[in-house]
Amino acid sequence: MLGYLAVMLFLPTAAMLLKASQEPPTEFWRIATSPMALATYDVTFTTSLVAALLNGLFGTLIAWILVRYDFPLKRFIDASVDLPFALPTAVAGLTLATVYSDNGWIGSLFAPFGIKIAFTRLGVGVAMVFISLPFVVRTVQPVLMEMEKDIEEAAWSLGASQWQTFWHVILPPLVPAILTGVALGFSRAVGEYGSTVIISSNTPFKDLIAPVLIFQRLEQYDYTGATVIGMVLLIISLVMLLAINFIQAWGKRYESQ
Amino acid sequence: MVSLPNSEIQNFPTKPRSPAKENKWVPVVLIAIGIAYLGLVLYIPALNVFVQAFSKGVGPFLHNLTRPDFQHAVRLTVLLALIAVPLNTVFGLCAAWAIARRQFPGRTLLLSIIDLPFAISPVVAGLMIVLLYGRQGWFGPFLQEHNIKIIFSLPGMALATAFVSMPFVAREVIPVLEEAGVDQEEAAKTLGANGWQTFWRVTLPNIRWGLLYGLILTNARAMGEFGAVSVVSGNIAGKTQSLPLFVEEAYKSYETEAAYSAAVLLALLAVVTLIAKEVLERKTRSRGIH
């Protein structure tokens, strides 16, 4: 087992770390902060964050209606939330690019207002929303199911309004789960390639994302350039992983209080 | 769009009220917003795959299925799954057993390490493999000397596929193993069963649904992987083009119909995966696991 891990995971990681460490720090920094690279970070991280936050809001709402209300096709809708995990990303990119293009089902509704979605940064955002959709729903759902209705009813009978009950009683215990979901969604969106490369026009300084830049550098046999941008993404992923573990530990402490 | 639910909720009167008088239209509005959001992001795009694929009837669809490069892509995708799934199953079982049954220093660290492939961008995973086995990589000179091709050929694609689908089995089996406990295994050993017999007769039946669930998720990811495979494959039609790569290539060369014919197959795989997941979740839930 450790042998498999070593061959499959440690060796490739070591190869990349070594390749990165062979670059002098000044050169590494120059490539990592070149204007084109900085522009891709902006597109990648800002768009991912907006997509993750949007899913934080709507994912919580979806978890809420799935746990608290009964409506037709509920089982189907609950199961379908996992579709972005099961659908290959190339298919997601293909169909989103069609549906959100100027003459697509949804894109054509926006086109008259001069809003282009596919092949712009907005389209990249739509793809990121798609692939990070299940995380918040799936982290919030179990917490909501565990939640005692008694406390809410107590709040109500003490005269709290619906809004007050939501804000002071229901929301606080959900916060760690929502944050975990947002962080997981964000880190998934940052690394995403398949759907975003198809829906993006991949124009530098406009909607080119960091993973696509790595791919383009490799195609030009610029291994150093690819490795440096790859290291930036790797470091961000590891930081996110730590952050998620931290949020979860914090959430557990919250529960036990 | 972002502020919609908030403003809906803020419109409530803030006077005290009893639960019995809860606004009846609140659930309706919230459900409508939730389904509208899912519709825009999930259902309309998913429906579009099937509509586009069969827009000109079944004839062109069937014709696309007979293309040699398409058939090659299907075979390659199945082959990649046939390599990656058994490898990761054996690994996942071993890792799950070590984590759930043994106490050793670095146990939690190992747990995080197994999750790493999910955290790393698929493109970065592909890049790592290129840096290791590529022409300029560590093993590059050795591989060239012995005329072994890994990058731009099947072994590299299999490595990339196995990398990205590594954690699923371990992840699904660990909680089931922990839940099942060691009592039955110990009883079997006391009754004289050897390690292998205990595994086949006691442990495996206990974890079978969790294991199957892990297998299905591994398979879905292995067949659908795009980023990592794309980096190491070179994407040569009829040679190193898997089905997801075929979708992108066909779309980029304006063969939208062919792209959607392939996309439908992959979408069906996703649907089967979701159904299997639903069935297995119900099975494990009814047995008190989870």
HEC string of B242-262 equals CHHHHHHHHHHCCCHHHHHHH
Query: What pTM value is reported for the model?
Result: 0.89
- Say what the pLDDT of residue B17 is: 46
Which tops the pLDDT comparison, B94 or A257?
A: B94
* pLDDT (0 to 100) of residue B14: 47
Instruction: For residue B226, give the nearest of A79, A85, A88 by CB distance.
Output: A88
- The domain ranges of chain A are 32-256
d(CA B231, CA A216): 10
Q: What is the mean pLDDT of residues B89-97?
A: 94
Chain A hits for B166, Cβ within 8 Å: 8-9
In this predicted structure, the answer to whether residue B185 has a pLDDT above a threshold of 80 is yes
Minimal Cβ distance to B41: which of A133, A162, A211: A133
Percentage of chain B lying above the pLDDT 90 cut? 52
Burial, B215: exposed, middle or buried (Cβ in 10 Å; 0-12, 13-18, 19+)?
A: buried
Instruction: Output the pLDDT for position B223.
Output: 95
State the Cα–Cα distance between residues B200 and B179, nearest whole angstrom.
Answer: 18
Q: Please tell me the predicted confidence (pLDDT) of residue A55.
A: 97
With beta carbons less than 8 A apart as the criterion, state whether B81 and B137 touch: no
Q: Which of B22, B226, B241 to mutate to test the interface with A (most CBs of A within 10 A)?
A: B226
Q: What is the pLDDT of residue B40?
A: 95
The pLDDT, as a whole number, for residue B39 is: 96
What interface predicted TM-score (ipTM) does this complex get? 0.92
Tokens of B72: 């090659």
Spell out the residues 6+ positions from residue A89 whose beta carbon is closer than 8 angstroms to its own.
Answer: A131, A192, A193, A194, A195, B224, B226, B227, B244
**pLDDT reported for residue B21:** 52
Q: How confident is the model at residue B232 (pLDDT cuts 50, 70, 90)?
A: very high
Could you count the other beta carbons within 10 Å of the beta carbon of residue A120?
Answer: 18
- Rounded to a whole number of angstroms, the distance from the CA of B27 to the nearest CA of chain A is 7
Is pLDDT above 80 for A120? Answer: yes
Q: What's the mean pLDDT in A23-52? A: 94
Q: Is the pLDDT of residue A79 over 90?
A: yes
Please tell me which residue of chain B has the smallest CA distance to A191: B121
What average pLDDT does chain B have? Answer: 87
List CB contacts (< 8 A) between B31 and chain A: 65, 69, 71
**C-alpha span between A256 and A98 (Å, rounded):** 48
User: Under the phi-then-psi rule, with left for phi > 0, alpha for psi from -120 to 50, and beta for the rest, what region is B276?
Assistant: alpha
* Residue B5 clears pLDDT 50, i.e. is over it: no
What is the pLDDT at residue B20? 46
The minimal CB distance from A194 to the residues B162, B227, B275 is found for B227
Query: Which residue of chain B has the CA closest to A66?
Result: B31
Q: How many CB pairs under 8 A join A and B?
A: 260
Per-residue pLDDT, averaged over B241-261, amounts to 93
Residue with the bigger pLDDT between B33 and B22: it is: B33
pLDDT score, position A256: 59
Provide the 10 A C-beta neighbour count for residue B200. Answer: 11
pLDDT band of residue B289 (cuts 50, 70, 90) is: very low
Give residue B282's pLDDT band: very low, low, confident or very high (50, 70, 90): confident
> Chain-wide mean pLDDT for chain A?
92
Question: Which residue's structure tokens are 């591989």?
Answer: B143
Residue B1 pLDDT class (50, 70, 90 cuts) = very low
Class of domain A32-256 (CATH, top level) = mainly alpha
CB contact under 8 A, A194 and B226: yes
pLDDT digits (tens, 9 = 90+) for B144-168: 888 888 888 999 999 999 999 999 9
Model confidence at B2, pLDDT cuts 50, 70, 90, reads: very low
pLDDT (average), residues B14-33: 71
- In the prediction, which pLDDT does B124 show? 96
CA-nearest residue to A211 within chain B is B123
The pLDDT, as a whole number, for residue B7 is 44
Residue B232 CB neighbours (<10 A): 29
> Is the pLDDT assigned to residue A147 strictly greater than 60?
yes
